[in-house]
């Protein structure tokens, strides 16, 4: 059995009914992996790289990780909270040091660590214009650390920002737990953004791409073909449906 181990914050945590409709990327990723791939998320709400380590979550993950595991590491949302001494880390200082510790543990266990940057916050101004850059220097710091440590990096911040920019304020609301907040995903959002992760794993090749079902797989038992086609990247250029056009179609259907 192949295993994906997820380290991160509330955007990737495994939710239960008490937090519905909040859904983590670790759950959304289930739609893209084969039946024999097991996903275990050690992510927990509100954690930065610092508090994740200080509160023993990394120690728990270390005891669980074994040779051959894929270890996805995705932090940044809470590391940037300057006012919180229990969570704040400097982007090119303690943040990178903590990521390096996580990578080192995975390597020593014979696992395959992958660093991902944070997903975008859904922030629009009063005119409906998307506001990028809410994660500051942390995505760049994560990418730099991955390159320095010689481990794969999956860029999620720019991809999700671009997606939100194209989708717009109104149409992007169902992806997040709006209006409660603009950071956590619904099932809909988690499945879409996990598609970007699947694209990243596919681009990395084996052994990462071995985890994935083909994009057109319907029933896995009937389709053992190798995953070759991108899941979301190829769809980025497609025009988004105008919600008002959908409403017009619905009203016309009712009249018919």
pLDDT tens-digit series, residues 177-193 = 999 999 999 999 999 99
Domain boundaries, the chain: 2-255
Q: Domain 2-255 sits in which CATH superfamily?
A: SGNH hydrolase (3.40.50.1110)
Strands of 13-78 (E only): list them: 37-41, 70-74
What is the pTM assigned to this prediction? Answer: 0.90
Percent of all residues in the chain with a pLDDT value above 70, rounded to a whole number: 89
Residue-wise pLDDT for 210-230, tens only, equals: 999 998 888 766 667 889 999
Residue-wise pLDDT for 102-146, tens only, equals: 999 999 999 999 999 999 999 999 999 999 999 999 999 999 999
Helices (H), the chain: 25-28, 49-54, 57-64, 94-108, 138-149, 157-167, 169-172, 187-204, 243-255
Q: Torsion over CA of 175, 181, 184 and 185, rounded to 10 degrees?
A: -20
């Amino acid at each position: 059995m192949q295993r994906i181990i997820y380290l991160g914050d509330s955007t990737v945590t495994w939710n239960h009914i008490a937090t519905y409709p909040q859904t983590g990327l670790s759950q959304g990723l289930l739609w893209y992996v084969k039946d024999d791939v097991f996903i275990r998320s050690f992510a927990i709400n509100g954690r930065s790289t610092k508090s994740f380590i200080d509160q023993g979550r990394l120690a728990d993950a270390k005891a669980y990780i074994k040779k051959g595991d894929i270890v996805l590491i995705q932090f940044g949302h809470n590391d940037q909270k300057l006012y919180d001494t229990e969570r704040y880390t400097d982007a090119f200082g303690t943040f990178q040091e903590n990521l390096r510790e996580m990578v080192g543990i995975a390597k020593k266990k014979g696992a395959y660590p992958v660093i991902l940057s944070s997903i975008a916050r859904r922030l629009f101004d009063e005119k409906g214009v998307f506001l990028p850059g809410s994660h500051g220097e942390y995505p760049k710091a994560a990418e730099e650390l991955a390159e320095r440590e010689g481990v794969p990096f999956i860029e999620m911040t720019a991809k999700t920002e671009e997606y939100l920019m194209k989708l717009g304020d109104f149409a992007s609301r169902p992806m997040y737990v709006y209006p409660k907040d603009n950071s956590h995903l619904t099932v809909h959002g988690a499945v879409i953004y996990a598609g970007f992760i699947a694209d990243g794993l596919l681009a990395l090749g084996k052994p990462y791409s071995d985890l994935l079902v083909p994009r057109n797989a319907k029933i896995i038992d009937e389709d053992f073909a190798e995953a070759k086609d991108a899941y979301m990247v190829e769809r980025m250029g497609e025009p988004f449906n105008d919600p008002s056009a959908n409403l017009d179609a619905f009203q016309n259907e009712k009249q018919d």
